[in-house]
Amino acid sequence: MEIAWEVTNVEKLRVGVIGTGSLAEYHLNSYKNNPAVEITALCDINKERARKKADIFGAKEIYDDYEEMFKSKNIDAVSVITWNNTHAPITIAALEAGKHVLCEKPPALNAEEASRMKQAAEKKGKLLMYGFVRRFAQNTQVLKSFMDSGELGEIYYIKTGYLRRCGNPGGWFANKEISGGGPLIDLGVHIIDLAMYLMGKPKPVSVFGNTSYKVGNRANIKDVTNYKSADFKTEQNISVKNTVEDFANALIKFDNGASLYVETSWTMHIKSNIAYMDIFGSKGGAKLEPQLEIYSEKNNYMIDIQPVVSSSSFDFDKAFSAEIDHFVDCIMNGTPCICPAEDGLTIMKILDAIYKSAETGKLIVL
């Protein structure tokens, strides 16, 4: 398979990271554990935060301005782990400066930005990979091997959900101008992408979606622990207003006739947080989360298959490690990338359409 980026033929890949907040450690630990990588530079507008991480991970260069960072000759590739509204400008600047980029999800605020990011990668002949980390989970890869070998037959329906009872991450996540939206763009992006990846990337043709703003961020609730942005502020100590949906759902149809139902929340009156993905094919079905199981039939009996694997549900550390190792492998060895720029553009078109459908009450034809 032909690849669209120049292979970087070096003994050690020199990596920089922009954004050293809550998620950064997953990237940094994975780079640190990859013997082909040296972490050379870190950047954060909060320079003290970057400095603290640099002390732990041994980066020699510390910046609070990414434009300055990209002038460095000691960086071959970067991870972009910043607020969503900065993914496009930082990624494009990095590509223009000749660096390969691994950009966190969501790819951008909208499809227009994702399209410019893709063009920048093509123009400079550099890799732009998106951090669709769920694709790298062991349960995903095991199920995909069953699906690719035809065990489930033709996939005609997936239903999936990622629902939190009280889990608005606060800070910039809750501000639509910075984040692009709430649980749909934050959590929905993971499961829509994953479903499409497992289905073999059919072409989306129409979208019907809803968003709701009924429950709010539930900042009054005491004694909950959940994922928080590095600069979390509660409603009582307000610096960022909550302007995003708390729930969204959508039905997406594909050119092969298959459909995907998705539902996602940051806050909802549900007993407990849940992530589920149910897959239905002509010869078999499967459940990916909360635990991998496959349903089929043999000798005129229904059978349940439970693959014996070390991670039958999503394992954060292992999945990030596999994602980072793949990024490094693509750059150094020219291995085809499983999360390329075009997939980022497709998912942003779908997310744009869900928000538009929710706003207009209409079916959006893509």
Ligand X SMILES: NC(=O)c1ccc[n+]([C@@H]2O[C@H](COP(=O)([O-])OP(=O)(O)OC[C@H]3O[C@@H](n4cnc5c(N)ncnc54)[C@H](O)[C@@H]3O)[C@@H](O)[C@H]2O)c1
Q: Which is nearer to ligand X, 196 or 364 (CB)?
A: 196
Q: With respect to ligand X, which residue has the nearer C-beta, 146 or 355?
A: 355
Task: Please work out, in degrees rounded to the nearest 5, the angle formed at the alpha carbon of residue 131 by the alpha carbons of 218 and 170.
Answer: 15
Shortest gap between Cβ of 7 and ligand X (angstroms)? Answer: 26
Give 22 or 119: the residue with its C-beta nearer to ligand X. 22
CB 192 within 8 A of CB 259: no
In angstroms, give the least distance from the CB of 83 to ligand X: 5
Beta carbon of residue 212, minimum distance to ligand X (angstroms, whole number): 21
Minimum Å gap between C-beta 274 and ligand X is: 17
Interacting residues toward ligand X by CB under 6 A: 18-24, 43-46, 49, 66, 81-84, 86, 104-105, 131, 133, 171-172, 186, 229-231
Q: Would you say 15 or 23 has its CB closer to ligand X?
A: 23
1: number of Cβ within 10 Å:
5
Nearer to ligand X, 91 or 357 (CB): 91
State the CB neighbour count (10 A cutoff) for residue 135.
Answer: 22
Residue closest to ligand X (Cβ): 21
* Smallest separation, CB 295 to ligand X (Å): 28
Shortest distance (Å) from residue 46 CB to ligand X: 4
Nearer to ligand X, 206 or 243 (CB): 243
Q: Which residue, 17 or 155, is less far from ligand X as judged by CB?
A: 17
In angstroms, what is the minimal distance from the CB of 303 to ligand X?
Answer: 33
| Shortest Å, Cβ 135 to ligand X | 11
Nearer to ligand X, 167 or 284 (CB): 167
- Which class for 71: exposed (0-12), middle (13-18), buried (19 or more C-beta within 10 A)? exposed
